[in-house]
Amino acid sequence: MAPFNSRPQRRPYVVAHTAVALDGATTGFAPDTERFYALAATWREDITLAGADTILAQEKALASAPRPGPAADGPLLAVVDARRRIRQWDALREVGHWSGVIALYAESTPARPPGSSVPELVTGTDRVDLAEAIDTLGRNEGAEVVRVDSGGSLTGALLSAGLLDEVSLLVHPCLAGATGGHQWYGSASHSAHTLELIANETFDDGLVWLRYRVA
């Protein structure tokens, strides 16, 4: 009989919640952020998993944002950052959304400055091993739910690797067209997965919320 502590642990439930235009773009239009974050609270995630580019896009706003300090009951922010491009860890920790931060690095990640106090998890060689990172976060942090914050690149990588359980799209009644350079599915293959509709809701302002289970 296997010893009690060697039981396989269930991987956390992973959901990517994204604001999109009708053409699937995640940029190049003005999302309803109030509605977006209100709906994001649905999952009460233990970990917010963000791509480095998503965080870098908020750098300017973050620099001048109030810093009330870590949110004791908030999720942990984990940022995929194999190239170590993120610098504003203190601001992220103190902006009041998250209880703490953790950098997800790879073996190839440039050396950290001496005395760096940023908690880190190293997986993968050239890039972060997303499966191992999620498994380890689930085990080490006791995380059951991970919400992905991505403009498409990270979501696509997770989708391709079979690591997404749910896709949530808040569809805006507009087209981003040429101004939207990112699609919510990144470079994921069009035929790799079946998406099963599990919920939908229409709001007065023309927004439609679609939730799909990834089969």
Reduce the DSSP state of residue 55 to 3 states and report it. Answer: helix
Per rule CB under 6 A, is residue 176 in the interface with ligand NAP?
no
Per rule CB under 6 A, is residue 51 in the interface with ligand NAP?
yes
Per rule CB under 6 A, is residue 164 in the interface with ligand NAP?
no
* In contact, 121 and 102? CB cutoff 8 Å: yes
CB count in 10 Å sphere of residue 117? 9
Of the residues 13, 24, 27, 32, which one makes contact with ligand NAP according to CB under 6 A: 27
Per rule CB under 6 A, is residue 180 in the interface with ligand NAP?
no
Per rule CB under 6 A, is residue 157 in the interface with ligand NAP?
yes
Look up tokens 């920790």; give the residue.
93
Q: 128: Cβ–Cβ under 8 A, 6 or more apart, which residues?
A: 80, 81, 82, 104, 105, 106
Look up tokens 């391709």; give the residue.
160
Of the residues 14, 76, 82, 214, which one makes contact with ligand NAP according to CB under 6 A: 82
Reduce the DSSP state of residue 184 to 3 states and report it. Answer: coil
Q: Which is nearer to ligand NAP, 8 or 14 (CB)?
A: 14
DSSP β-ladder status, 166-172 and 76-80: unpaired
The amino acid that residue 89 corresponds to is W
* Closest distance to ligand NAP from the beta carbon of 31 (Å): 5
* Closest distance to ligand NAP from the beta carbon of 191 (Å): 18
Where b means 16+ CB within 10 Å and e means fewer, 93-115 reads bbbebbebbbbbbbeebeeeeee
Per rule CB under 6 A, is residue 149 in the interface with ligand NAP?
yes
Q: Which is nearer to ligand NAP, 3 or 110 (CB)?
A: 110
Per rule CB under 6 A, is residue 18 in the interface with ligand NAP?
yes
Per rule CB under 6 A, is residue 88 in the interface with ligand NAP?
no
Per rule CB under 6 A, is residue 75 in the interface with ligand NAP?
no
Q: Which residues bind ligand NAP (CB under 6 A)?
A: 18-19, 26-27, 31, 51-54, 57, 80-83, 127-128, 130, 149-154, 157, 182, 186
